[in-house]
Structure 1
Amino acid sequence: MNHTPALSLAKLRDQLVDQIAAGRALPGSVERAMRTVARDQHLPGLDPAKAYTDEAVSIKDNPGGPLPLSLASVPSIVAMMLAQLDAQPGDRVLEVGAGTGYNAALLAEIVGRDGKVTTVDIDSDVALHARAALNRTGYEDVTVIERDGLLGAPENAPYDRMIATVGLWDVPHTWWEQLAEGGRLVLPLRWRGQTRSVALIRRGDTLVCEGMELCGFVPIIGQDGERTAELADKTIRLHYDQDQQVDSGLLRDVFATPLVEVQSQARVGSEEPFDGIWLRATVTDDTVCRLEVTSEALETGVRRPAIPVRSPALVAGGSLAYLILEREDADPERPWRLGAAGYGPDGLHLARKLAEHIDAWSAARDAVPALTIRPAGADRDGLSEGRVIVKSESVLALSV
């Protein structure tokens, strides 16, 4: 049982929001909601002090896999996505992924009494947890539905705002039917192995992106557009999309070939992000994938990627190249030089190509590609100007 005084909990809550607001500008409505809603009440049994740290909390484990079935998201990511959503008083909002009910409570605060929040979750335990927490904290008007989130909630549509708190590989066709013209959809969308929280505005049969941020979420149940190839005695995994031409048989012995390295001109500081390389590369290159290298592979001498569990890689035939870091103390402010490691007969070519992607990113580090999305089967006029990625239910177009 929680015996922490309410005033102390409010102080902890304010300290967390102060920390988040120091890192990014928050809309007033989002900040007020986060200072009002008691996150600890949505995480019963957890030390309240931990409830007010900027960390994710697992609420249901997954016996069949490494990722939990449901998480209470990192509060700063919650704030970031709510800022992207830009919900207004009186809005009708659909949330996919009920979680603890905390995000739905924040949305209810933002849209007010004249608005309406509906949240859906495929897991009965999670939906029950959310319902109980919302009732306990005074948000009985939020509708909680146990349902496959890919179906949405047509009974309360159309929605002015829709938000997904689970990772999506594709935009379900049902969501198009439920989002109002001019409505805003925010979802963690995955392509070429990386996930971005994208804010999309509906303009007829087109979703136009108005911003994207790096994020990571538990994937939604029911979408299976990503494939995995296990290499080097299953100590290395390559993750790629179903439309990409990857032959795992050709890559079986790729890490037994000689290593080549190519350095770019780009340097970064120890706390400086470089994830934009991955994003920018997807605009011009269809060979971008995600490489996951285990500690066992590193112990056998495989070149360490920039981030072993998730680094961008280029794959063609029986060759690949991936992002690496090399420390050079000549520049104390930016001691890390970015480069590429290549394996296979075309490893040097791919490493040089990746180094070019790195240098292109470095020349405009804050540049964000344009993204538009249309339903599968819709007219593609105007999409040919960018890199087109075909998914099962939608088509993405990226351009610089």
Structure 2
Amino acid sequence: MDRLATTIRPYAWGSRTALPALLGAEPTEDPQAELWMGAHSGAPSGVDRGHGAQTLDQVIAADPERELGAATVRRFGPTLPFLFKVLAAGEPLSVQVHPDLAQAQAGFAAEEARGIPLSARERNYRDANHKPEMLCALDEFTGVCGFRRPERTAALLDRLGVPGLRPVADVLRAKPEPEALREALTLVLTLDQASVPALVAETAEALRRLAAEAASDEAEAVAFADYAALADYYPNDPGLLSALLLNHVVLRPGQAIYLGAGVPHAYFRGLGVELMANSDNVLRAGLTPKHIDVPELLAVVRFEATDPSVVPSESVPGNPGEQLYPVPIDEFRLSRYELGEWPLPTGTPQIVLCTSGEATLTDAAGQRLTLSPGQSCFIPADNPAVTATGSATTIFRATVTL
């Protein structure tokens, strides 16, 4: 078992207090957005097996079958197929979407062929992998996820009463669902830039009015206030208008959502555990100073309305204490354990993260490792048996499905 030395990414949208509170550290003046655990080349975790510090990707590359297991290597190749994070949003993240595997491979190859540097601002594909992801809330977590049904969004835009949004409402009513959603998103992303600040300000003011009028409906009031607040952060950005096409979501602690390829989404605020395929491919639709490639975005988005649903955790037969958040992919598997003493299944690569209390991991050789909140460890596939114990403790376990 290897305690991980992790990296905190200081993105501008990060909270200045949430990660320090989790780690029991004093906050700094800088935003702390994401704590990365894994072997992604952007910020691989460090390990020390007594021969000096190494990165986890170096350790895995030296003996993939020992670290990952032969079955994992056959299925996913000689790299850790997932990236584990703690995400702390103090401000809204961009409205974004992730490609599927074929799109990522084609997009990456095309940009490589054109000679676009990986660090270039206009680069869309940083790697050739897809990026399905799951987020499980550690405290109340808000955002938007998936397109709202066109007729419901049209009715919302009518309630706002903003003349500049009437063409969007008309499109949503006049066309079949996929075409309506595509044209609506295209409209808001291709507005004359000179008209955007006034339209965003007028829309935000109308949303604040609706929030005040919805005082007796807490969920509706929170949603309207959340949408309106986007204009405070990005007054010259059409991201508020993109977000209005999407479902508002509030997660309570322990609740999770799964985001497959092509599903537009944005996180607004909160602290959560995030698990994803080992990729950093993002295409954006607003709420960002970063590059927005409208044609490529429109090629990746799935234009279908969804009703966002919380992924319920479920007990796992034969694995006492494990609460699994099931997903329709194999690259990652997220479980939560609370209190007591738990045997952790072995035979696959796994990262264990403590989020509350204190967890002690013990393996068959008698090695013991104690984790405090925010600390994590890597357990290689060849470790035959690991038991986790703790009182008033919560841990999350990330691994693969085989």
Fold match (TM-score > 0.5)? no
Higher normalized contact order (CA 8 Å, seq sep 6+, divided by chain length): 2
Question: TM-score interval w.r.t. the shorter chain?
Answer: under 0.3
